[in-house]
A and B are shown apart, each in its own frame.
Chain A
Amino acid sequence: MLMTLIRRELLDNLMTFRFAAAVFITLLLVVANTIVLLKDYEQRLTAYNKAVNESHQELREEKTYSGYAGALIIHRPPNPLSIFNLGLDKQVGNKIEVYHAFIPTMWDAEKHGADNPFLNLFTSIDIVLVFQGVLSLLALIFAYDALAGERERGTLRLVLTHPIQRGYILFAKYISAMLCLLVPLLISLLLSIILLTTSTTMSLRADDFLRIGGIVLTSLLYVSLFYLIGLCISAMTRRTSTALMLCMFVWGVLVLVYPNLILTAVDIVPQPNTQISVYNQIKQMWEEWDRENKRFLRNDAVLGPLSRNGEGWGFRLKGVEYSFAPSEDKPSTLLYFYQTSFYAGKIGAESEPQVPLVQDYYGFYNRETINTVQRTWLVRKPALEAIYIQPANLGRMLLRFSPGGLYDAATEAWAGTDLDGIQDFFSTVQRYRRAVVDYFYDKKIFESRQWFAADKGTADWDALPQFSFHRSDTGINAKRALPDMLLLLTMNVILFTVIMLIFIKSEV
């Protein structure tokens, strides 16, 4: 009996104009946007590869170890799944320096490669956004007359005269509509995956297909939720045109109005104004350390006379070519540090006895710098979280009240382009910085002659620990996506129960 009902509903739905239009529009939009997104991804990948090579060479050109300031640069590869959900992949910087005098965060990152900043004026559309807009609309279009239409035409009465439970009828309608909605979803996804595999630069791994599977599953939950919303409206109204109009208002509010309205309104929430005080605190820590350093230089029996009035530069070594002070001063991202160093081309023979003293000094100076960095990090990390992450999380939390927000968050988590996915990269960079510092400690590079002079052996960059970043396991993606998917599922179940109650109680 159930099968008969499903077959009837399926045939009813499949032979309609709206079904043809739905498939056509979804296909058109998905294919057009996949081509655009693929091209964009390829461009970003080329820019990434070029930037990696350039940075590799630039580092090799540095002869002294201290020259790695501003030369040891890590690039963030574009995420191939960003085609499905762009998330933060393009928005956040993808070029970050690794240096012992600061801890790299995503706010210190810059952008490599060709990028016309004005193009940000146009919103970029990813596949999930197409589904979010079009499939939800289609689900409502399929649902609005499911019950109201039959009631209008009088066929509902006819069906109910048969000895069938009302729940079965609802279930059959639900299953057949979902099967119909699956068609545009799967065909368009298939086409876009075919397009992706024809690309030579794009390589999808086996676990990427698992992630895409997760995205499909989430899409199904999302579409089904909208179908149920439509069904609910359809069960409550008498006339189809009223049902459709109500559906459209609900769609407009849920998909279009609510997300933008709530994110605009959230700006009114007062934000912690700790930025300046924390920045000053960090600056003070550095200045304190600088004073201590100068005092040390002035009072140290051996180094004192070597340094000019407590400034470390040069140490009166013969052959010093220039001094440099890498520094950053960005109040907006609470970044502040400076480092003094110098480059000695060829140290004169008469200065030779002083070289070990300078080496010792740099061992001390760099060790203390790293300690200062750790001290400032204790202040900087929570402040950055309060300034940037908390408002972002608040916005994302409020978005979850709309199914679109849940869908977006879950697919972002699957694709790995969400905040967590991006932070994975930056915590890998932070660990890498630690590894580099540990390597420098181990090999006593901070107190080596190669730190500032290149005359007796130059820096060996090939022995440096290599940076490698792998996107997180599918399991972790699933774990991050799960809460949102469960919420979607719960909403589905609740709505289905509500519809059941309304439908069972309704008079024909």
Chain B
Amino acid sequence: MWHIAKRELYDNLNSLRFALATVLLLGLMLTNAAVYLHEHPKRIQKYNASINEALTGVTTRAESLYTLAQEGPGLLYKKPSTLRFCAEGGEPFLPNVVGGTFLWSSSGGLKGFWRLNYPSTSPNLTDIRPNVTKVDWAFIIGYVLSLIAILFTFDAVSGERERGTLRLMLANPIPRHTVLIGKLLGALISVSIPFALAVLMNLLVISTSSTVQLGADAWGRLGIIFFIALLYASLFLALGLLVSARVSRSAVSLVILLLIWVTFVVFVPSTLASIAGGFSSPMSTDELWQRRGELYAKRWERYDAYFAERVERSKEIQFKGEHVIAEAEEQERVNEEHLAQQIAQVKFARGTTRVSPIAISQHLFESFAGTGFERHLQFLENARTHARQFRKFIADTDSGDPESSHIIGIREGMSEKPVNPAAVPKFEDMLNLSRDFNAALMDLLLLVLLFVVLLSGAYLAFVRVEV
């Protein structure tokens, strides 16, 4: 088997396609590194500046517990991933911030309380540059490496048959599956060499730069991504072997492979996503505003009805506090519902794109690079956790003040003492590898399954080959 693999390898190393693949991959990976080194420090700088601004905001608001509770912890920013060069994950289309509002104040001297609020428009409305798929690892692997894999195997069987060497090889006492595995291994190694070289150059450029530090965790993730890339490439190698074994002429084999490739890799993901996205229509922004307005009006109706008759002072404060808190909670619930519907639509669309191997690999790269949609969901979850912590902190601090009457929501009922700004919980957006791995497990299994199916298909086809 090793003999066959070695022979394949030598065959490939001297070929034109090997040289072309190496040049192409190297060029792409080096561009990727250069662009990343140019952009990432800026991103980090912007993130740090925003974080500092948010912190200054908290410090000014911490002069009184009430103000802090009412105006909230400020904007919560998404931490840019260090591994963004692996997968851009559509980050420019995703909001990088979760806001909060407190503006819904109205009569009765009441100010609305802070609640989570999600940006509803795409942040790149002003961008009129031509559309582009950023050249990241996911692009290089997903499109270019798969194309290269096809170009390396399209003539693996049919070419030998054309030249007549297949007959010669099968005349030796080697089982056919050994030949097949040998060919697969040889092709895999010859695809891996230029790819590994390009990856190495890419990482070399990135790690020698002083502006970006890759930690142990990041290297672990990069290793996983590399192996997923190899798995993905072998998927296409197996497909190439399958078609090559079934077809007698190598040119025909390549034509079929290319048509399959262009359909499944280039067009199927977007087409399916658009079709699947059309099945559900989530609450629109207009509807959201309408629902919020209705709830708000109803809440204030109840308020006015309560105060239609005279109420004693202590009960008045109690009711006002409850009113403010209930209003904020209600609004936040509608916001959550709106967001959940949008997310459900996208999740369904993403699920259907799993028909195509490139979408599966894209999801995997995104989850290990800490970018993209799943990462955005994690960020939203982090923001929610932070909101809970923040509210708990307010309640705890308030209960620690003996002068306060512990009615959260209204100035008269709350502590107005200054808070130590350092004690206020800080929002830090975290990436969690084990969580990513759980989310990615299904995709990984799918990819492996697809590989096994294609490989057994190739085996069956090859066993039945007449020489």
Contacts and interface: CB of A to CB of B under 8 A. Distances in A.
Interface stretch (A65-73, A104-112, A218-226, A286-294): A104-112
Contacts of A252: 24, 143-144, 147
Given A248-B258, A249-B151, A392 B90 contact: no
Contacts of A264: 31-32, 35, 132, 134-135
Interface in B295-317: none
Interface string B323-360: 00000000000000000001101100100010000000
Interface string B6-21: 0000000000110010
B130 A396 contact: yes
Contacts of A399: 130
Interface stretch (B96-104, B273-281, B385-393): B273-281
B284 A115 contact: yes
Contacts, number: 205
Contacts of A92: 125, 128
Q: Which of B252, B256, B277, B353 has the most CB of A within 10 A?
A: B277
Nearest to A249: B20
Contacts of A117: 93, 95, 119-122, 342
A130 B262 CA distance: 10
A114 B281 CA distance: 9
Interface in B62-112: 90, 93-95
Contact of B274 (A114, A124, A419): A124
B34 interface: yes
Nearest to B257: A248
B274 A40 contact: yes
Nearest to A409: B130
Taking chain B's interface residues, is the majority helix, strand, or loop, or is none over half, making it mixed? Answer: helix
A31 to B, nearest CB: 10
A261 to B, nearest CB: 5
B128 A88 contact: yes
Interface in A21-43: 21-22, 25, 28-29, 32-33, 35-36, 39-40
B159 interface: yes
B466 interface: no
Contact of A268 (B34, B252, B372): B34
Given A124-B274, A260-B133, A118 B343 contact: yes
Contacts of B373: 118, 121
B259 A389 contact: no
Contact of A137 (B39, B154, B262, B342): B262
Interface stretch (A239-247, A303-311, A345-353, A498-506): A239-247
B263 A25 contact: yes
A123 interface: yes
Given A121-B346, A125-B270, A244 B251 contact: yes
A345 B24 CA distance: 72
A106 B32 CA distance: 31
A340 B287 CA distance: 31
A264 B127 CA distance: 14
B125 A110 contact: yes
Contact of A122 (B28, B147, B252, B277): B277
Interface in A271-302: none
A328 to B, nearest CB: 14
B349 to A, nearest CB: 7
Interface in A68-115: 88, 91-93, 106-107, 109-111, 113-115
Given A32-B271, A93-B125, A110-B125, A25 B281 contact: no
A40 B270 CA distance: 14
Contact of B278 (A39, A253, A408): A39
A240 B94 contact: no
Contacts of A28: 263
A248 B277 contact: no
Nearest to A270: B38
A241 B253 CA distance: 10
B267 interface: yes
A92 B126 CA distance: 7
Contacts of B144: 252, 256-257
Interface string B115-143: 00001111011111111111100010001
A485 B33 CA distance: 35
Interface string A4-28: 0000000000000110011001001
A125 B267 contact: yes
Q: How large is the interface on A (under 10, 10 to 19, 20 to 34, 35 or more residues)?
A: 35 or more
Contacts of B31: 261, 264-265
Nearest to B139: A260
A263 B274 contact: no
Contacts of B273: 122
B252 A17 contact: yes
A108 B449 CA distance: 49
B262 to A, nearest CB: 6
A451 interface: no
Given A124-B274, A260-B133, A388-B126, A267 B39 contact: yes
A115 B285 contact: yes
A419 to B, nearest CB: 6
A261 B262 CA distance: 19
B113 to A, nearest CB: 24
A257 B28 contact: yes
B9 to A, nearest CB: 18
Contacts of A260: 132-135, 139
A116 to B, nearest CB: 5
Contact of B254 (A244, A263, A265, A333): A244
Contacts of A121: 90, 93-94, 346, 372-373
B122 A120 contact: yes
16 contacts: A35-B275, A92-B125, A109-B125, A116-B342, A118-B93, A119-B345, A119-B346, A137-B262, A241-B154, A245-B16, A249-B17, A261-B135, A265-B135, A267-B39, A268-B35, A422-B128
Given A21-B255, A116-B282, A245-B17, 14 more contacts: A39-B278, A113-B286, A118-B342, A118-B343, A120-B124, A121-B346, A122-B269, A122-B277, A240-B251, A245-B154, A249-B151, A253-B24, A261-B135, A267-B38
Interface of A: 17-18, 21-22, 25, 28-29, 32-33, 35-36, 39-40, 88, 91-93, 106-107, 109-111, 113-125, 130, 133-134, 137, 141, 144-145, 149, 240-242, 244-246, 248-249, 252-253, 256-257, 259-261, 263-265, 267-268, 332-333, 388-389, 391-392, 395-396, 399, 408, 419, 422
| Closest 5 pairs (CB-CB, A-B) | A114-B284, A263-B132, A122-B273, A120-B93, A117-B122
